[in-house]
Structure 1
Amino acid sequence: MASGELSPWAPGGSGPVPDPYAGSYHGPWGPTPDPAPPVSDEVLRQLPPPVSGPAGPAGPTGTSAAALAVQRPALVGLAVTLAVTASLLWVTGLSLFGVVALAGTDAMASAGDDGVVFHTLDQFVLRMGDGLWVPLYGFPVASIVTGFLLLTGRPWARVAHSVVGVATLGWAGWWLRDSLLAWICVAVYVGLSVAVLWAPSVGRWYASRSRPRPAAPQLIG
């Protein structure tokens, strides 16, 4: 305060400085906008109906990504379960029987009361040693591998799994040529696990997975 000026609060002063915004309900930022008028029922009736379903980025033809995605059919999971379960059980049972056969031929005598069991186990060991283990283990292992490949959605995986199934039935028909009933049981199980892969819904899923996906937009700059 310059010398010679009286303070507004001193005796004889001019009093408090008036507030330029006194009496204003809007403050220094100006008047607030008026509230929007209520929407009438006539305007609400003219609005389009809401669209159900999750919205996604538009595809190349204007279709949302949610509509382009095709859920994996349950038949694919059924085929994988049938193939993998049967193959694992076969490999486990065959390995266990091989261990029992090796132990039995060492512990039993070739003559006497144990002679029949000994020759049965010994014949199994000899045939496995002659190369029978290759198809007995090869087909189940190939079925397990191609079964898990079905989940990748590649069309060639379905063809490969079907080829393994047909080859298994062909070899089993030759190996079980003296036991038609056993081959029929194998054919029904393997044929069912392969036939479900050629259902129309499964074909549509593999076709949708083989389509090229649209490239993601890139920001330039």
Structure 2
Amino acid sequence: MKVLVPVKRVLDYNVKPRVKADGTGVDLANVKMSMNPFDEIAVEEAIRLKDKGVTEIVAVSIGEAKCQETLRTALAMGADRAILVQTDDKVEPLGVAKLLKAIVEAEQPQLIILGKQAIDDDNNQTGQMLAGLLGVGQATFASKVELAADSVTVTREVDGGSETDKLSLPAIITTDLRLNEPRYASLPNIMKAKSKPLDQKTPADYGVDVAPRLTTLKVVEPPKRTAGVKVADTDELVAKLKAMGVAK
């Protein structure tokens, strides 16, 4: 059984983003980049499923050449091989989904596991779009995964608690934070990852147009939080909330 795990290179979650002076986007110059945390969880889950019948894990990333570092991290964690679809253009979720669809058709994995969203744009769209393009079942926000020979049972988090779905393979799963705790890659595995196969492709190799459909007009810092005030009683609190338009 083959599992495909898309991973994304993003600004490290410990780094505070800075907006460019011209307001065209986030400044990524000379800052630490790392694998999207939700994708780390996806890689970890794929590795754990090796005890349940998974024989090969293929990591995929779409982006600039430096995404090789992210793929090497996935390989050091336990993925078997990797594919980099190299492009210097910013690829939107629909473009990513179309590229992944082409890769799925070429690789024929039985299971695709990816993070529910990337922490840089928080779109939470790619997994759902990919499921729609492929016409296969999906289970989002997974907190538990149980794999069988021809199906997968997923416990997922919903507003009212949890929901359990059983999907026929092939299927798509997007991971939530409580699914697992990703492992740290050991030094020997980091060294081994350097010799694992990493294929380089381009969007043109898959016949996919990744031209952006959206234009970013301006990026600004969020307003600074103002100091709170103390109120004497409930009546004053309600009056202030009414003045702010929060209460009626």
TM-score (normalizing by structure 2): 0.19
More helix by share: 1
More strand by share: 2
TM-score (normalizing by structure 1): 0.21
Considering Cα pairs closer than 8 Å and 6+ residues apart, tell me whether 1 or 2 has the greater RCO.
Answer: 2
